[in-house]
A and B are shown apart, each in its own frame.
Chain A
Amino acid sequence: MTGFVPAFEWQRVMVQPWTEDFTVSFWIVVMGFLVTATCGLVGTYLLLRRMALVGDAISHSILFGLVVAFMIFRSGGTAVMFVAAVATGLLTVGIIEFIHRQSRVKTDAAICIAFTTLFAAGVVLLSVAEMKGPVHLDPDCVLYGEIAFVPLDPPVEFFGLTLGPAPVVRIASVLVGLLALVVVFYKELLVTSFDPALARSLGIRTGVWHYGLMAGLSIVIVSVFEAVGAILAVAMLVVPPMFAAQLSDRLPARFALVFLHAALSSLLGYHLSVWLNCSPAGAMVVVGAMLFLLAWAVTRPRRYASVARRVPLQADA
Chain B
Amino acid sequence: MRRTGWVAAGLVLLAVAPAEAARIGELTDWDFGAQAARFFSLQDPSVRYALAGSMLLGLCCGLMGAFLVVRKLALMGDALSHAVLPGVALGFLWGMTKNPAAIFTGAVVAGLLGAVVVQWIRATTKHREDAALGFVLSSFFGVGIVLFTMIQNLPGGAKSGLDGFMFGQAAALGPEDVWLLAGVTVLALGSVGLFYKEYVLTSFDEGFARSLGWRVKLYHYSLMLLLAFAIVSALQAVGVVLVSAMLVIPAAAAFLLTDRMGAMLAWSAGFGMLAGAAGAFFSFTGRSLPTGPFMVLAAAALFLLALLFAPRHGIVGRLWRRRSRAARIRRENTLKAIYHVMEDGGFRDEAVAVESVAGRRRETTAGAGREIGELQRAGLATEEDGRVAFTPAGWQRACEIVRNHRLWELYLTNAAQLAPDHVHDDAEVIEHVLGEETVRRLERRLNYARRDPHGKLIPGLADLAGGAPPAERVAGFGGKGGAR
Contacts and interface: CB of A to CB of B under 8 A. Distances in A.
Interface of A: 1, 4, 47, 50-53, 55-56, 60, 68-69, 71-72, 87-91, 93-94, 97, 99, 102-106, 108-113, 116-117, 119-121, 123-125, 127-128, 131-132, 139-140, 142-144, 207-208, 211-212, 231-232, 234-239, 242, 245-246, 273, 276-279, 281-286, 288-289, 292, 296, 300, 304, 308-314, 316-317
B201 interface: no
Nearest to B133: A53
Contacts of B71: 314
A285 B166 contact: no
B294 to A, nearest CB: 7
Interface stretch (B7-15, B173-181, B266-274): B7-15
28 contacts: A52-B131, A52-B134, A90-B2, A91-B9, A108-B73, A109-B72, A116-B296, A116-B300, A117-B245, A119-B296, A120-B245, A120-B294, A120-B300, A123-B290, A128-B24, A131-B27, A131-B287, A211-B2, A232-B141, A235-B138, A235-B141, A236-B138, A239-B135, A282-B146, A282-B149, A289-B143, A296-B124, A304-B126
Contacts of A316: 128-129
Interface in B116-150: 119, 121-131, 133-135, 137-139, 141-150
A236 B138 CA distance: 8
A76 B294 CA distance: 26
B134 A234 contact: yes
3 smallest A-B Cβ distances: which pairs? A285-B142, A90-B5, A235-B138
Contacts of A288: 139, 142
A282 B142 contact: yes
A124 B248 contact: no
B124 A308 contact: yes
A128 B139 contact: no
B130 A308 contact: no
Given A4-B93, A124-B297, A128-B20, A234 B128 contact: no
Given A119-B241, A314-B73, A113 B12 contact: no
Given A104-B256, A131-B27, A235-B138, A87 B123 contact: no
Interface stretch (B40-48, B74-82, B106-114, B422-430): B74-82
Interface string B7-47: 01100110110011001100100000000000000000000
B313 to A, nearest CB: 6
B9 to A, nearest CB: 4
A124 B72 contact: no
Contacts of B78: 53, 56, 112
Contact of B12 (A68, A111, A140): A68
A273 B141 CA distance: 15
B145 A87 contact: no
Given A144-B145, A313-B217, A304 B72 contact: no
Given A90-B2, A109-B248, A120-B293, 12 more contacts: A68-B12, A68-B13, A94-B6, A102-B307, A105-B256, A110-B252, A120-B242, A120-B300, A235-B141, A281-B145, A286-B146, A313-B206
Contact of B145 (A212, A232, A277): A232
Given A94-B2, A123-B290, A279 B77 contact: no
Contact of B290 (A127, A132, A310): A127
Given A72-B12, A289-B142, A304 B5 contact: no
A304 B82 contact: no
Nearest to B119: A313
B241 A232 contact: no
A311 B122 contact: yes
A109 B313 CA distance: 16
Nearest to A289: B139
A315 to B, nearest CB: 9
A296 B137 contact: no
Majority SS of interface residues in chain A? helix
A91 B5 contact: yes
A127 B289 CA distance: 7
B203 to A, nearest CB: 10
Nearest to A309: B123
Contacts of A56: 78, 134, 137-138
Contacts of B123: 308-311
Nearest to A276: B150
Contacts of A283: 142, 146
Interface of B: 1-2, 4-6, 8-9, 12-13, 15-16, 19-20, 23-24, 27, 69, 71-75, 77-78, 82, 93-94, 119, 121-131, 133-135, 137-139, 141-150, 153-154, 163, 166-167, 206, 216-217, 220, 241-242, 244-245, 248-249, 251-252, 255-256, 287, 289-290, 292-294, 296-297, 300, 303, 307, 313-315
B35 to A, nearest CB: 15
Contacts of A143: 145, 166
B75 to A, nearest CB: 5
Contact of B82 (A51, A231, A236, A300): A231
Nearest to B15: A72
B16 A87 contact: no
Q: Which one of A109, A119, A304 has the greatest number of beta carbons of chain B within 10 Å?
A: A109
Nearest to A308: B124
A306 to B, nearest CB: 11
B135 A124 contact: no
A110 B137 CA distance: 18
Given A108-B75, A308-B124, A232 B142 contact: yes
A4 B150 contact: yes
B248 A278 contact: no
Nearest to A284: B142
Contacts of A106: 69, 72, 74
B93 A1 contact: yes
A286 B24 contact: no
Nearest to B312: A104
A108 to B, nearest CB: 4
B124 A292 contact: no
Nearest to B247: A112
Given A104-B255, A112-B78, A242-B131, A234 B241 contact: no
A312 B134 contact: no
Q: Which one of B20, B126, B135, B307 has the greatest number of beta carbons of chain A within 10 Å?
A: B135
A117 B137 contact: no
Contacts of B307: 99, 102-103, 105
